Structure 1
Amino acid sequence: MSTLSLTSAFTLLLKRDLVLAYRRRAELANPLLFFVLVTAMFPLGIGNDPKLIQAVGPGVIWVAALLAALLSLDTMFRSDFDDGTLEQFMLSAHPISVLVLAKILAHWMITGLPLFIAAPLLAMMLNVPTDAIPTLMLTLVLGTPVLSLIGSVGVALTVGLRRGGVILSLLVLPLYVPVLIFATDAVKTSIVGIPTSAQISFLAAMLIGSLVLAPLATAASLRISLS
């Protein structure tokens, strides 16, 4: 199999998922609206103390981003399972892990990228110092792909279940905790002026590890779900 044919399959599948997402613009906007609404409403519940809002701001942004990503996970393979496309993936001559990686990238572009773009405005609203916003953006660009990569394994395991949303949450949320801890701590550390190289390195390591292992695990999970 030539590299060109594999690259073409990856590109075509990525474009297909992006086009399908564009046609379902209402569903496309749900994670972003959820992220914005949760972050915007949180200060209403804790009062208007600027120091308190600043202290909890990074955690609020990351918890909202995590839940928004979780909200959209079930759509990653659902339509393909319903119309039989997943069975065609299993019969493809291309490596299943490469096709899965294309769908994960499409999911991140549909959900994670809009959250990344909206985060600076929400950070300013939560009184996060301007100097700490670049660190927040770096944690999001490293952490949100990990959410999609890890989430794809859980989705693949539960795609054949009629009501797999609760099971998916139970499977995925514990695996999201390290990302939440290191990303939030990096932003809080940046606010007080301490170097954040350790937290950023952990996030980068998690991204590399997930990028290598998650597509393989997802492909194996799909085989189990469709067997």
Structure 2
Amino acid sequence: MKAVFLRDLKLSLAGGGGAASGVIFFLAVVATIPFGIGPDLNLLSRIGPAILWIGALLSALLTLDRLFQADRDDGTLDILTTGSLPLPLVVLAKCLAHWCAASLPLVLAAPLLGLFLALSPTAIGAVAVTLLAGTPAITFIGAVGAAVAVALPRGGLLVSVLVLPMAIPVLIFGVSATYGAVNDPDPFLPPFLILCALTLFFSVLGPIAAAAALRASAD
């Protein structure tokens, strides 16, 4: 499992597509929003956490279609499917490597981009913490969509269509927890704990469902 994780992480970083394309798209989303709503700093600071979360979600979806596609094209996926390591653990290792290469840079870039939206230090910290807790869930959900679409030609759009509805609860509780950290009447801990629970839930369900979809596509 460690070998699969290190292999996928090195391939993702060597290719340059995961972190670079995701962060650039994240920057593009955040940078264009102020031009659309105007230079109202109070409005930007109010909706800034939601903008960062939506940008991170869309950026994470951008690279999910490559989770299994390259391994299927070169035959590595067939070897991993029939290997000694259980396929759900293989999927788990690949998901962790993908998150480190594609989603962790988004978490690290969020505080800097929060300055563009006039967020307070508390809001910036809350966005970073909630993204750190919630983006792994998006990756595990995306693994299911990527596994379903891996055998289909041009399945990239299908991955986004399959993943986006299931990722909406992660977005809702991530934004709710962020607003709870900066607005006194709103609670922070309950939505944050639900966000963590979603990540733990999908960390178990996602690899199992993705492994079943990969076996079905192999058959």
1:84 matched residue in structure 2:
75
Letter in 2 for 1:133: I
| Matched residue, 1:108 | 99
Aligned residue for 1:160, secondary structure, equals coil
1: CA distance between counterparts of 2:91 and 2:17?
Answer: 24
Q: Which moved more, 1:172-181 or 1:121-130?
A: 121-130
Match of 2:49 among 58, 72, 79: 58
**Is residue 220 of structure 1 aligned with residue 212 of structure 2?**
yes
1:199 is matched with which residue: 168, 191, 195? Answer: 191
Distance (whole Å) between structure 2 residues aligned to residue 106 and residue 132 of structure 1: 28
CA gap of 1:91–1:26, structure 2 versus 1, over 3 A, is closer
C-alpha offsets along residues 75-100 of structure 1, whole Å, 9 cap, x if unaligned?
11110010011111111111111111
- 2:122 is matched with which residue? 131
Name the CA distance, whole Å, in 2 between partners of 1:120 and 1:166. Answer: 29
Identity of aligned residues (%): 42
Distance 1:75 1:138, change over 3 A: same
Q: TM-score, normalised by structure 1?
A: 0.92
Distance 2:158 2:32 in 1: 28
Within 2, Cα distance between the matches of 1:26 and 1:69? 12
Which of 13, 23, 28 aligns to 1:22? It is 13
Once the 2 structures are TM-superposed, how far is the Cα of residue 27 of structure 1 from its aligned partner? 5.1
Pairwise CA distance, 1:210: 0.8
Paired AA for residue 197 in structure 2: A
Q: Residue by residue, what CA displacement relative to the aligned partner does 1:127-180 show, whole Å, maximum 9, x if unpaired?
A: 111122222112101110000000000000000001112221221100010011
Give 1:61 shift: 0.5
Tell me the residue number matched to 2:201.
209
Contact conserved, 2:19 with 2:105, CA < 8 A, in 1? no
The separation in 2 between residues aligned to 1:207 and 1:32, in whole angstroms, is: 22
Match of 1:48 in 2: 39
In 2: Cα distance, 1:225 partner to 1:56 partner:
42
Q: 1:166 aligns with which of 148, 157, 164?
A: 157
| DSSP 3-state at the match of 1:77 | helix
Give the ranges of 4+ consecutive aligned residues of structure 1 lying more than 2 Å apart after TM superposition: none
Q: How far off its partner does 1:221 sit?
A: 0.8
Letter in 1 for 2:11: L
TM-aligned CA deviation for residue 26 of structure 1: 4.5
Q: How many residues in Structure 1 have an aligned counterpart in Structure 2?
A: 218
What does residue 144 of structure 2 align with?
Answer: 153
Amino acid at match of 2:217: S
For 2:197 and 2:10, how far apart are their aligned partners in 1?
A: 31
Q: Which runs of 5+ in 1 are unaligned?
A: 1-9
Determine the structure 1 residue equivalent to 2:85.
94
Q: C-alpha root-mean-square deviation of aligned residues, in Å?
A: 1.2
Q: Provide structure 2 residue ranges, at least 5 long, that are not aligned to the other structure.
A: none
Whole-Å Cα distance in 1 between the matches of residues 93 and 17 of structure 2? 22
In structure 2, distance between residues paired with 1:55 and 1:133? 12
How big is the shift at 1:21? 1.6
Name the residue aligned to 1:67. 58
Q: Which amino acid aligns with 2:42?
A: K
Alpha-carbon distance in 2 for matches of 1:54, 1:25: 32
